[in-house]
Amino acid sequence: MFRLSDLLGCDDIVIQCHNFPDADAISSGYAVHTFLKTHNKPARLVYSGKAEITKPNLTRMVESLSVPIEYVKEIPHIGTLVMVDCQYGESNAAKLSADTVIVIDHHEDMNCGHKGIINSNLGSCSTLVWDLLNKEGFEFQKHPEISTALYYGLYADTNSFEEIAHPLDKDMRDSLNFDRRIVNTLRFNNMTITELGIAGAALTRHKIVKQYSCAVFRADACDQNTLGFVGDLALQVEGVDVCIVYNTLPDGYKLSVRSCTREVMANEFAAFLAGGGGHRQKAGGFISKTKAGNLAIDDFIENRIQDYFDNCEIINADNHNLNIAAMGKYRKRKFPVGFVKSSDVFAAGVPMLIRTLEGDAEAKASDDVLLMVGIMGEVYPMQTDQFVKSYTMTDKPFEPNFEYSPTVKNKITGDSVKLAAYIKPCIAGDEIYIYAMPVAKKTKIFTAWNTEGYMCGEPGDYIAVRADDHKDVYIIRKDIFAKSYERI
């Protein structure tokens, strides 16, 4: 696994941002440059392309944070080239000659075959660099300019945090002690007159799909914030409940998604369209040219919209007509899962934000509220009396497979705690069963505990009904179901 300290053994280091660098690229490069500087390792921070940075928020950012970035048209052969927020050989970054190339990026892996780290699930490259810095014990309190840069990099790349999805992105946003004065200055210098013109032109290039109350807008080259601006305006139009705004990038198409209807959560719709994420009302994503295939992007998006709306079932847990007699009867397998007494983490009454890969949930700490932790890191609240009926304590170890270790945050103080330190093992009892069957098409369930947002199941996932409470209806991911349940 790549670490920033691997760079300390390299010589003649140049850190390269993509052409016409945005806030995320500049922030990421600046942070890597500063890490090397703290270890007395000289490096240059550069970008190339046809023109220098002119956008007002970026020129102010470079000046306010003293970012030592250079514009170069060409550069002699390099010993070690570190590419941030871009990949070697791609059209959005000048190809510089180097002995060794290392890539640090959050876009889709283009299989360039170079050393480094790519995590396309993250909302920004700034988050990836922040995580790498944390693993090196970087002292952020001594470098407030880096905290401010990384915060703004994520802010800009996720449309003012509206399209943030991954828990690491949220962890960075919540933990950095940044200069609010500088960030506010950059926020309100974020659009040029040219970009305002791009937004206006995009509003005239639209297609309304009336049967789905959905609109699609095409914008010229612009950043994510401009796409979001167009989407926010479009959603105010009568008859438009969902909208997609996109523009073309060298390697694909950037999307901004908006929704004002309960039946379509923007983050889930964006994930269906493009593997994106965000919030219920605002989200974003990226469609690679490989994914679009030979179809024109307008045709690809229209086909996906039709597939989404025509092949979807909506179920309300408190008023459903599921044929339970046709479902299989299952019980949980006899292996340990985890639980945490919420009042062991925070005092009773404290409002908690529970952060997992599946998203954020909320609950109040209480002696009567337990946090159940599944083998994949899924977390859900459970009342103590229900736990007593369903589970028994065990001495067998709980051995989870976490991609992201779930955390609980005190919503009052902002303190964040890893649940792993509090987890105790338990095993499901014999007397609690569920009825379940795989879903044949996309299924949205408004559960008894959440009537505003839905759980979403893809074909192959399972719809489950608790045997002793037929209004307790929910979705279980197929990989979790296969590992967790056995048929009776």
Contacts of 272 (CB under 8 A, 6+ apart): 304, 308, 442
Distance CA 326, CA 454 (A): 24
Contact 286, 276 (CB under 8 A): yes
Record the pTM.
0.70
Distance CA 363, CA 454 (A): 17
Contact 371, 339 (CB under 8 A): yes
Domains of the chain, residue spans: 4-187, 193-310, 324-487
Distance CA 12, CA 71 (A): 18
What CATH number was assigned to the domain covering residues 4-187? Answer: 3.90.1640.10
Contacts of 3 (CB under 8 A, 6+ apart): 132, 135, 136
Facing residues of 307 across strands? none
Give the per-residue pLDDT at 6: 97
Give the per-residue pLDDT at 260: 93
Top CATH class, 193-310: alpha beta
Give the per-residue pLDDT at 175: 92
Give the per-residue pLDDT at 111: 67
The per-residue pLDDT string of the chain (488 residues; one tens digit each, 9 = 90 and over) reads 899 999 999 999 999 999 889 999 999 999 999 999 999 999 999 999 888 998 889 999 999 999 999 999 989 999 999 999 999 988 788 999 999 999 999 987 766 678 999 998 898 999 999 999 999 999 999 999 999 999 999 999 888 887 787 899 999 999 999 999 999 999 888 778 888 999 999 999 999 999 999 999 999 988 777 898 999 999 999 999 999 999 998 878 989 999 999 999 998 899 899 876 777 888 888 898 888 888 899 999 999 999 999 999 999 998 898 999 999 999 888 889 999 999 999 999 999 988 887 677 788 999 999 999 988 888 888 889 889 988 999 999 898 888 888 899 888 887 889 899 899 999 988 777 899 999 999 999 998 877 777 888 999 999 999 888 899 899 998 988 988 889 98
Contact 191, 229 (CB under 8 A): yes
Tokens 């941030």 locate to: 84
- Both structure tokens of 275: 């593997």
